[in-house]
Structure 1
Amino acid sequence: RVSSLEAILEVAPPCDSEETPVCLRALTWEQAAEMASTGLIELGGHTHEHPILSRCTEEEMRDEIETGRELITQRTGRAPQLFAYPNGGAEDFTTTVQTAVANAGYTAGFSVINGFAQRDQNAFSIPRYGAPESLTLAEATVSGAFETLKEWRTRSARKAATV
């Protein structure tokens, strides 16, 4: 965990250093509170020290989820409603993890599994896409073009396998 590494290595993460370029520094709590106060964005939860929750005991999991939520609430004045699973792969958020996130007061949980949310989607297993590097890729992503291509490839592969 981050705090353990800081103690062992006796160094602060580079994102907290004055030597780090401003554009690469972590958001400050003051900046987070200012952003949250606008009501234009939602600052979501993620955990306190970024462990892979499926590898934690239930007690560690609860502590990580709840401590992270409490800190955001205290520092910004707004309780986060949305949660992003650390790593976010299918193996990183079990049903036990999803239940712990719901029990902590969150209304939804997001993975990093590519896909669009469906109307009947489990609110604690929502797929998403990362931010594309260009406007063209962003347009292709939100239009569903990549999902359509993936579906065509899957159908073609199945068809070829039956021939």
Structure 2
Amino acid sequence: MFHGVEHEPLSPPCWHVLGSALFRRQLHYLRAHFTVLQLAEALDRLAAGTLPPRALAITFDDGTRNLATNAVPVLRDLALPAAVFLATGPMGSDQTLWPDRLWLAIARTTETEVDLSALGLGTRSLGGTAARGGVYAAAVDRLKDLADARRIAVLQQILAVLGYRDGEPGPFEMLSWGEAHEIVSDGLVTLHPHTVTHPILARCSDEDVQREIIDSCSVLEHETGSKPTIFAYPNGRPHDFDERAKDVLRGRGVRWALSTAPGFADAHCDPLALPRLAVGSDSSFAYFRLMVSGGLPRRYGGGRGITAARRAPRSPGVRR
């Protein structure tokens, strides 16, 4: 699972945005050592028990514009398919997803410290890029654990203290629908729903869970002409979604839903809670090779099976 790709890694650090050189190197490795399938094909073959050895599918969450400018050109150069999960609400506007607004506020503020007492983090220094990156990581993790209405209120307070104003979205500008249609024009990339506003569904009201899922699925159906059958949960940790979300997905005809629980999917997995391997900017290339080859302990994504999707080799270890 990837997110955004920029020419250079961001400063302060942002885990979910990769530099393009590392991204290209990672994709070269996947093409050389795995059988990369369209996500829908991988999931159908997982259900049928017909996956080829070392099967893998590439996914991107959120739908930032840098997918069109920096990621899809690499996919096309290497003839690699991928699935993109879109948070449909801010597409085609200068709005950004809420975690990205927080990063922009911390990166751009002239304040030298920030009071995060509302998150139980006290007052934190903003002196230097490393400190700002640490503040962002700590604050966004605490915000994710709040009830949705409380998260919105606390985030707005923090943004106000930092002097943030909506405007230039920088690396977090979202795709327009025109750009989304262009990246699927050659058939390598497919589009799927990822809610409207990227909330943590388990922290939402029943009504908001339904709206976020149903509205995003409806928009994707309208734009693609196909009823969505694959969904990805925002944030996607096991406690970030619940049976309410699964019930709504079943009612909408969704067969598969992807989490971010680290691991490899197999026939024993819940089809509405499939694991994936998350690729971040803080991981070395050696770590990436070890992770995708199943050589890490299970809590870091080790094990056997496919991950959104891939089957591990019969023998553990890194294939060089």
- Using the size of structure 2 for normalisation, the TM-score is 0.39
Note if 1:143 corresponds to 2:293.
yes
For 2:288, the aligned partner's letter is: A
1:146-161 map, 5 Å: 146-147=296-297
User: For residues 12-161 of structure 1, what are the structure 2 equivalents within 5 Å?
Assistant: 17=167, 19-21=168-170, 24-133=172-281, 134-147=284-297
Name the stretch that deviates more: 106-115 or 125-134.
125-134
Name 2:113's counterpart in structure 1.
none
C-alpha offsets along residues 3-44 of structure 1, whole Å, 9 cap, x if unaligned? 9x7xx99xxx86xx5x455x5422221111122333222222
Moved over 4 A (4+): 148-151
Shift of 1:104: 1.6
Higher strand share: 2
Q: How many residues align?
A: 143
Pairwise CA RMSD? 3.3
- 1:92-124 deviations in Å (ceiling 9; x for gaps): 111221121222222211111111112221110
3-state SS in 1 of match to 2:288: helix
Whether the 8 Å contact between 1:36 and 1:78 is mirrored in structure 2 is no
Q: Which moved more, 1:82-91 or 1:48-57?
A: 48-57
Distance 1:85 1:121 in 2: 16
Distance in structure 1 (CA, Å) of the matches to 2:293 and 2:274: 18
Q: 116-125 vs 29-38, which deviates more?
A: 29-38
User: Would the alpha carbon gap of residues 117 and 27 (structure 1) be closer, same or farther in structure 2, given more than 3 Å must change?
Assistant: same
> 2:229 touches 2:256 (CA, 8 Å); kept in 1?
yes
**CA offsets, 1:52-111, max 9 Å, x none?**
212233332112101011112223444433211112111111122112122222221111
Q: Compute the TM-score of the two structures, normalised by the length of structure 1.
A: 0.70
Change (3 A) 1:149 1:117: closer
Range moving further from structure 2, 53-62 or 85-94: 53-62
For 1:33, the aligned partner's letter is H
1:149 and 1:98, CA in 2 relative to 1: closer, same or farther beyond 3 A? Answer: closer
- Structure 2, unmatched stretches of 5+, are 1-88, 90-96, 99-151, 160-164, 303-320
Where 2:222 maps in the other structure, the secondary structure is helix
Percent same amino acid among aligned pairs? 30
Letter in 1 for 2:289: E
Indicate if the aligned counterparts of 2:193 and 2:231 stay in contact, CA closer than 8 A: yes
2:132 is aligned to none
Deviation at 1:149, TM superposition (A): 8.9
Give, as a single letter, the amino acid of the residue that structure 2 aligns with 1:53.
L
Residue 111 of structure 1 aligns to a residue in which SS?
A: strand
